Structure 1
Amino acid sequence: MLLRKTTLAHAALQTHRAALDLRQRRALILADGRRDTAELARLLGGDGAQLIAQLHASGYLEARPGAVAERPVVGEASVLASASKAAPDSRRSLAAARMYLLGMLELQRNAAGAALRQGLQLAQDDEAIVAALQTGLEALPTMTSAGYAARVRERTLEVLPQYWLARLELTTPA
């Protein structure tokens, strides 16, 4: 089923007053009505399916009316299985890597950083997100010190799922 934020979730994200932790906020941001439960769980990594179930039970997420998921979801067990295959380490997720690099690019107070940040924000599918991550990481040394860029690159690679690490074609830092 495709999930979207409820009015309660929109209010919680806008006011920052709800008792939501970072992972819950991340899940709500990713629930855009175009992703199904399995995809959200995979993006969140680790216990993403349980987090989604908790947010759904708390009234923050709802099934998008009249929408049918492109991929059938058999049940929570299959969601948990797909999430564990995608991210064996609960600290690794594509969403976490994306959010981290978005933050680092926002700190680059220049036009190039803003353009890279916008490209990463607008990336819709996993392939486009990884391509934008790669572009951002390759461009960062031209905007900041080599040491800072290396630390950002290292941290991004720490949170990126193993599957995407193997596919990412980062040039080696000079």
Structure 2
Amino acid sequence: MKGLVGRFEKTVAGRQEITSRIGTLDRRTRALLITVDGRTSVGDLLARALQLGLESDAVFALQQEGFIQHVGELGHVSDVQPSAGSLPSGAKQNSRFRKRSLAAARMYLMDVMVRTLGTAEHPIRTRLIEATDPGSVEQAFEAFLEMLRETATPSVVAHIEESFRDQLPIRQ
């Protein structure tokens, strides 16, 4: 599969597909698109595709349909370049950063909960909806992680935790 090296990120069309739930993609392919984050290697994406029951060419199909692109291709519009003084000393030295917010972290977590729990009416999700401060969001997340550890593989749990934490604002 020529062209499937490096890392991929969602295009504008890919982000619109996720946020608008247009229905262009089937459920498993949409789940694969959600995992595309600009940091995960193509090999990991191919493995995820197989875990989701997709063919190995699913990643290539997402690229051909314009939902993902190689990191750094023209047309990327969501780069945010923080000032040198805004990074904590332990932050990754990477020129690519995305916007972080409590709202983005909550929305990501709500989406994962619905997909994982299969229902929008779950007590942990209700706690998350009512959470408005970082502490209460973190408590709802920890409760969700506890439950998730009983049903999901450690790699899925780690991926969800990392993605959630990457959405949170950087603590000063």
Question: How high is the TM-score relative to the length of structure 1?
Answer: 0.45
Higher helix fraction (1 or 2): 1
